[in-house]
Amino acid sequence: METKYLTVLADCCQRIFSEMTRTEVVNVSIKKDERFQEIYAVAQVAPYEDFPQKVSGIFFLGFTDEHLAVAVASAIAENLGFPPLSQFDDRARDALNEMVNTTMGHVVTRWDKMGFRVRFKPPVSAKNVNIKDPAFASQEAYRITLDLGGERVVFTVTFTDADRQQCRRRILVVDDSGIIRALLAKYLIEAGFAVEVAEDGAAALDKYQGFRPHLTIMDLNMPRMGGLEAIQEISLSDPQARFIVLTSTARRDEEMIARTQNVLAYVLKPVKIHEFLLLIREALG
């Protein structure tokens, strides 16, 4: 990634962090991360790509200590007029996500004026992020460190070109539950997959054509268009499409129909993440 873009990113990280937490940043450093930090206890992860889809990467705000993540989230909450926070819960995640979203909004605006047009996906919160996982291993990474005078906050941005990007398997997650979409997206991204999500079958049809996933995880009971109908429609346009059904029901007629439509597995909720990831890797060979 070119230095001028990193400079803009570092400036936005420092300025938005200071404004939203009312914390003085003593020093800002930018460094190519040759020796990755093994584990971040808490991270807000936001994938990005440019419009021609020649480059992609991941931006994340990482904390090696969960207590520091809570302290930063609490400072953001108090600055916005809410009570302080004492634990890493949904309110803390929302506060950190708001800061990441705001930072990325400013970055995208300035990068766009420089001719680098990118789009970011909404950040998801993750714990125990190992930057040596496949999601990061093939990418250049740059670390932006904000020195707070005793504590440090680390923003990291990764960068990969189109040739290396082709190696990442693409998965489309279709479910009307926002919680399930976020949960699966988080773990799939951490496992090294490129992920898109859709809230129902109709949205899945639109997403499928542009994203062309290697595998689609499909719920069945959804508004507007159910999963079986979406599977049939997608299969008409792409006979090679492959699916895993993830649903809360176990109707025999639905399962029989699903298995005639390139459905590799029929899984009942609640999902066991570790077993589900193994199933996905088997499905993708």
Burial class, 90, CB count within 10 angstroms (exposed 0-12 / middle 13-18 / buried 19+): exposed
Per the prediction, the chain carries an average pLDDT of: 85
Question: What is the structure's pLDDT at 11?
Answer: 95
Min mean pLDDT across 1-5, 65-69, 101-105, 125-129 is at 125-129
CATH number of this structure's domain 169-283: 3.40.50.2300
Q: Which tens digits make up the pLDDT trace of 221-252?
A: 888 898 889 999 999 888 889 999 998 876 77
Burial class, 169, CB count within 10 angstroms (exposed 0-12 / middle 13-18 / buried 19+): buried
Q: Which of 171, 201, 186, 48 is nearest to 126 (CA)?
A: 186
Q: With cut-offs at 50, 70 and 90, classify the pLDDT of residue 104.
A: very high
285: how many CB neighbours lie within 10 A of its CB?
A: 6
Q: Could you give the CA distance from residue 189 to residue 218 in angstroms, rounded to a whole number?
A: 17
Q: Which amino acid is at 135?
A: A
Q: Which residues of 38-67 are buried (b: 16+ CB within 10 A; e: fewer)?
A: eebbbbbbbbbbeeeeebbbbbbbbbbebe
Q: With cut-offs at 50, 70 and 90, classify the pLDDT of residue 258.
A: low
Question: What is the structure's pLDDT at 58?
Answer: 82
Question: What is the structure's pLDDT at 165?
Answer: 47
Residue 95 clears pLDDT 80, i.e. is over it: yes
CATH number of this structure's domain 3-161: 3.40.1550.10
Q: Could you give the CA distance from residue 217 to residue 78 in angstroms, rounded to a whole number?
A: 39
- Answer whether 146's CB lies under 8 Å from 163's CB: no
**What average pLDDT score do residues 60-80 get?**
91
Q: Which tens digits make up the pLDDT trace of 180-217?
A: 998 898 888 878 788 889 999 999 998 888 788 999 99
Residue 166 clears pLDDT 70, i.e. is over it: no
Top mean pLDDT of 128-142, 153-167, 184-198, 248-262 is at 184-198
Min mean pLDDT across 38-42, 105-109, 129-133, 164-168 is at 164-168
- Cis omega (within 30 of 0) on the bond before 270? yes
Q: Could you give the CA distance from residue 271 to residue 123 in angstroms, rounded to a whole number?
A: 22
Ordered by start, the domain boundaries in the chain are: 3-161, 169-283
Enter the DSSP assignment of 39: E
Q: With cut-offs at 50, 70 and 90, classify the pLDDT of residue 38.
A: low
